[in-house]
Each structure stands twice: as structure tokens, then as C-alpha cells.
Amino acid sequence: MARWNIPECQWSDELLTHNESIDAQHRELVKRMGQCIASLNAPHEFSFEEELEILDLVVFLLDYVIAHFSHEERIMIESDFPDFLSHRIAHSYYITRLVEFKNRFKQEGFNEGLAEVFHREIVEWLVNHIKYDDRRIASWSQSGVAHKPSPRHL
Ligand SMILES: [Fe+2]
């Protein structure tokens, strides 16, 4: 019996944006979040080595998310995506949450409060962001009006 029961996170085609590179990176993110959850749900107190392994998973997730967000931001810039700024602010918000999670994990060890934070602020937030916000980038950049010149290009 797991101590925390963080709900699983699995890929589903509901998350497809139909941009090949973005989808490939999202699949990797979902897989890595799933690995974190599986480790965090272990039914015993973590040993020092296990805490380090989980921290490594979280650090990998953080590095991957930063690279992924900058990939999406490049696509948004290249296609003159109209909501670039608010999307970028959302990315910064998420990175801050993930850094806070990592720091609290290091300071406090894992606990029920952090299990809730991981589920709500790290997993659910990203899944909803993919479903509702990232799909808009992909459809905009592939819609044929993606390269409509903005006034600064005229
Ligand atoms: Fe995004």
C-alpha cells in the first residue's frame, strides 16, 4: 500500500497537439512525471539513496521542462503566436513551482503536503496546460495563417 497515493499520470491521445516535436517532448515529460510518481508512491520511508534518486528525477524533469518550454517559445515567436506573452508567463510560473517543489523536497523530505503539491501544481497543471494551451500553439502554427506578417514585418 503506497503511503501517498498520488494519482498516476499516463499518456493519452487527448494530449496530442499534432505538432510532431512538441508531442514527442510531451510524451517524454508525461513518462518522466509518471516515473517520479511511481517513486514517490513507494510504500516505505525513503532511504538517503532513494531521496537522491528522486531528486535526480526531479532535476531531470526541471531541465527537460526548461528546454521544452524554450522549444515551444521558439515556435510561438516564429509563427507570431498572438498569446505569446501570457503563454510565456505560464511557463515561468510552472518553472517556479517546480523549483519550489525541488527545494522543499530537499529541505523537508517528502510529506503529505508535497504529495498534494506534486499532484496539483506539477502534474495536473502541466496536463491541463498541454490540453488547453499548447494545442493552440500547434494549431496556430499549422493553420496556414501562422506566417501572416505582423505589422512589424511590413
Ligand atoms: Fe506551453
Average pLDDT over residues 132-146: 79
Rounded to two decimals, what is the model's pTM? Answer: 0.88
The count of other CB atoms within 10 Å of the CB of residue 109 is 11
Instruction: Using the predicted structure, report yes or no on whether residue 14 has a pLDDT greater than 90.
Output: yes
Distance 14 CA to ligand 1 centre (A): 15
> Using the 8-state DSSP alphabet, how is residue 94 labeled?
H
Distance 1 CA to ligand 1 centre (A): 35
Instruction: Using the predicted structure, report yes or no on whether residue 2 has a pLDDT greater than 60.
Output: yes
Instruction: Using the predicted structure, report yes or no on whether residue 55 has a pLDDT greater than 50.
Output: yes
Percent of the chain with pLDDT over 70: 92
Distance 38 CA to ligand 1 centre (A): 24
What is the domain partition of the chain in residue ranges? 20-38+45-143
CA 15 – CA 72 distance, rounded (Å):
15
Instruction: Using the predicted structure, report yes or no on whether residue 80 has a pLDDT greater than 50.
Output: yes
Query: Strand, helix or coil at 112?
Result: helix
Q: CB burial class (10 A; 0-12, 13-18, 19+) of residue 66?
A: middle
Distance 131 CA to ligand 1 centre (A): 10
Looking at per-residue pLDDT, the higher value among 115 and 154 belongs to: 115
* Length of the chain, in residues: 154
Distance 99 CA to ligand 1 centre (A): 17
Encode pLDDT of 96-118 as tens digits. 999 999 999 999 988 999 999 99
> What is the CATH number assigned to the segment(s) 20-38+45-143?
1.20.120.50
Q: Which three cell numbers stand for residue 136?
A: 493552440
Q: What average pLDDT is seen over the chain?
A: 90
Q: Which three cell numbers stand for residue 101?
A: 517543489
Q: How confident is the model at residue 7 (pLDDT cuts 50, 70, 90)?
A: very high
Work out the widest C-alpha separation in the chain, in whole angstroms: 63
- Residue-level pLDDT at 152: 42
Average pLDDT over residues 46-70: 95
